[in-house]
Amino acid sequence: MEKIEQFINDNLQNFKLLHFYLKSEGHHLITQDFYIQSGSIDYYYQPFGNTPLKLPKRLEEFYDKLVTLVTEEDFDIDYDNYHTIEVRYTVKNNTLTIKDIEHITVTRDSSSVTDVESPEILDIFKLWFDKGFSLVKVDFNGGGDSGYIDSEGYNDSERRIEIPAALDDFLYEILGRNFGGWEINEGSQGTFDIHTDDNEIILYIGVNEEDTETSTIYTKQINF
């Protein structure tokens, strides 16, 4: 953070002007954030105080330069994850703080069991069982408001088995009934284990949820 330290020392007068401008306008802070996604800078948020904030040109250029310097830092973070970097100056204690908000996908595993009673589905099970398919697995995946169940299943020998339309509809029904919203936001993924010998379907699912971890990268009280 040497460049940022030098920038602060070279711009004490601008920090003083920023401090009194924010105070006079009733803002207790200014924050300007940006995203890091897959190691690249995504975009800047609009500067924000108590509300969206429009600075005078001199202060706007000054604070934008500060944020630009922060974007050029080599952060010690996991670049595979999605990050929000927050550059915040707080009026009350004259403190500049840079925080990393890391967005983490957490997977919650769950399952459900469905006993099959539909004659149409049981006929499919009997046909498969007679062919030696006592267990057929079918994978599914969803996220970002769309999802799909594979059109083919497979057995322990990795033999591909086409899923009839009636069974495909039945699997979607099971998924929606037990885990509504399986395809939205971070989504989910999993497998149907179809036991044709026991006439049951076991659904194994990993539901993805977003969590965040916040850490302070840099903080400094500015004395002007």
Q: Give helix 57-71 / helix 2-10 axis angle, nearest 10°.
A: 160
Reduced 3-state DSSP string for the chain? CHHHHHHHHHCHHHHHHHHHHHHHCCCCEEEEEEEEECCEEEEECCCECCCECCCCHHHHHHHHHHHHHHHCCCCCCCCCCEEEEEEEEECCCCEEEEEEEEEEEEEEEEEEEEECCCHHHHHHHHHHHHCCCCEEEEEEEEECCEEEECCEEECCCCCEEECCHHHHHHHHHHHHHHCCCCCCCCCEEEEEEEECCCCEEEEEEEEEEEEEEEEEEEEEECCC
pLDDT one-digit tens code per residue, 11-27:
999 999 999 999 999 99
Q: Would you kindly state where each structural domain of the chain is located, as residue ranges?
A: 2-92, 106-209
pLDDT one-digit tens code per residue, 165-217:
999 999 999 999 999 999 998 999 999 999 999 999 999 999 999 899 999 99
pLDDT band at 43 (very low <50, low <70, confident <90, very high): confident
Predicted pLDDT of residue 42: 79
pLDDT band at 62 (very low <50, low <70, confident <90, very high): very high
Residue 93 has pLDDT above 90, yes or no: yes
Nearest to 82 by CA among 188, 213, 208: 213
Q: In this predicted structure, which of 20-24, 40-44, 66-70, 185-189 has the lowest mean pLDDT?
A: 40-44
Does this model's pTM top 0.75? My answer is no
The token duo for 143 is 């996220």
Backbone phi, psi, residue 99, to 5° = -120, 150
pLDDT one-digit tens code per residue, 113-161:
999 999 999 999 999 999 999 999 999 999 989 999 999 999 988 889 9
C-alpha dist (Å) from residue 131 to 139, 161, 205? 21, 11, 28
Please state, rounded to an integer, the average pLDDT across all residues of the chain: 94
pLDDT band at 79 (very low <50, low <70, confident <90, very high): confident
